[in-house]
Amino acid sequence: MSESPMQFKTIVVGTDGSEGAARAMEWAARLAESTGAEVRAVNVLTYSHEFMRDITFDTVTTWRRSLEKELKSKWVAPLVERGIPYRCLVVEQDSPALGLVKAADKEGADLIVVGTRGSSRLGGRMLGSTSYSLAHHAHCPVTVVPPAAESDPTA
């Protein structure tokens, strides 16, 4: 008996402007194009106590607006190019993983897609902390797109 491919309605993509996030967005865009899924581009803001001690509320507001502008104008380009329905979300949370899990739950996501930071001194044998945490706490499947992910996500 052959299994039918998974159907995705909503895909959450973690994005932060990094190369890894750009690869994840491109990969998710190809998958969404082939499945008809909608995408939620999610940027998670985390604040350390040291960071918050030294800045004003106006600075945080300006920084957040700048991130939202980048998210809406540049980071979602693969979605715009393919005409994929999407929404941009900026959430505040203690960690990127927790923010992505909560966004995925709220949006009813069928999949979370994130990139990697690249190879580590351990030869890439260990997942990054965000990927590791997502794998253990997400309520839907998680895809971690590696640096050389040029493959077709629908294959």
pLDDT at 66: 76
Give dist(CA 147, CA 115) in Å, integer: 8
How do the pLDDT tens digits run along the chain, 155 residues long? Answer: 445 467 899 999 999 988 999 999 999 999 999 999 999 999 998 876 555 566 777 777 776 787 777 777 888 999 999 999 999 999 989 899 999 999 999 999 999 999 987 544 443 444 578 999 999 999 999 999 998 755 566 65
Collapsing DSSP to helix, strand or coil, 136 comes out as: helix
Give dist(CA 91, CA 106) in Å, integer: 12
| Structure tokens given for 110 | 């069928």
pLDDT at 5: 63
pLDDT at 44: 92
Give dist(CA 109, CA 38) in Å, integer: 9
Q: What is the pTM of this model?
A: 0.82
pLDDT at 56: 72
Task: Note the CATH number of domain 10-145.
Answer: 3.40.50.620
pLDDT at 106: 98
